[in-house]
Amino acid sequence: MKRLSTRALLTRYREGERLAMVTCYDATFARLVDAAELDMILVGDSLGMVVQGHEHTIPVTLEDMIYHARAVVRGSARAHVVGDLPFGSYQASAEDALRSGMRLMKEGGVQSVKLEGGGRVVESVARLTEAGVPVVGHLGLTPQAVHQLGGYGLQARTEREASRLLDDARSLQEAGAFALVLEGIPAPLAREVTASLSIPTIGIGAGVECSGQVLVLYDLLGLDERFKPRFVKRYAQLSELVTSALGDYAHEVREGRFPGPEHSRER
């Protein structure tokens, strides 16, 4: 099985295919994502909230990302794996971005990296792509800027903000980004950005007219019933199934019904 390259993804985009991406943080889920033949896996710094239990993504380190990226790459063979550059690993300078991106690719095994922001990261995107590190941009709701944004609400609501986001999208494309995540922006703006670019846009909370979509795997599988944002569609309710299975297991252990003869060996 051949892993999808940036060239293969761009070919699909140019042929009018929409790209399906999910976040994933471990080898077991990566194997299942591959079996479902999704195009892209994002090893997202959202692992800080989903896996580590933080309130936001800021505490996630580059070492965390490398660790989880390795696991996902080992578990998959087909999907193109994108790794998030976490907060603090690229904001100081283009040199920091280059070092971090090269580490995430070399040590984590990802095929491309993602970083958040517009004009301020354009130089970093250019340096990374020149060095052979493919880049996915990220505009709109950028979770690493949650304290600056004041929360996780819809972004680019005003005409001025929308115009700036459109300019940033074009600048990221010109700098060499091969794809762009659009998160938490009005659907008409996402449509306009998508139409103005020659690279795919991957939407999350940005309407249906992007070139593809991304969701957090745990959200679409319904593994956390407490998290119910408008942009998430639950394709399963696994939290109920998991809780029920665990309850059955505990009950059988306490009743002395597990393990049964079929689960044991005499010699």
Indicate which residues carry an active-site annotation.
183
Secondary structure (3-state) at 110: coil
Q: How far apart are CA 80 and CA 146, in angstroms?
A: 28
| Type of residue found at 191 | R
Q: Is the distance from CB of 40 to CB of 168 less than 8 angstroms?
A: no
Q: Is the distance from CB of 182 to CB of 206 less than 8 angstroms?
A: yes
Strand partners, 19: 212
Q: Is the distance from CB of 161 to CB of 213 less than 8 angstroms?
A: no
Q: What are phi and psi of 214, to 5 degrees?
A: -135, 140
Q: Is the distance from CB of 3 to CB of 111 less than 8 angstroms?
A: yes
**β-strand 19-23 against 80-84: which pairing, if any?**
unpaired
Q: What are phi and psi of 81, to 5 degrees?
A: -100, 125
CA distances, 156 to each of 131, 202, 206 (Å): 32, 17, 11
What torsion, rounded to 10 degrees, do the Cα atoms 175, 76, 34, 222 define?
-90
Q: Name 132's Cβ contacts closer than 8 Å, sequence gap at least 6.
A: none
Q: Is the distance from CB of 172 to CB of 180 less than 8 angstroms?
A: yes
Strand partners, 117: 138
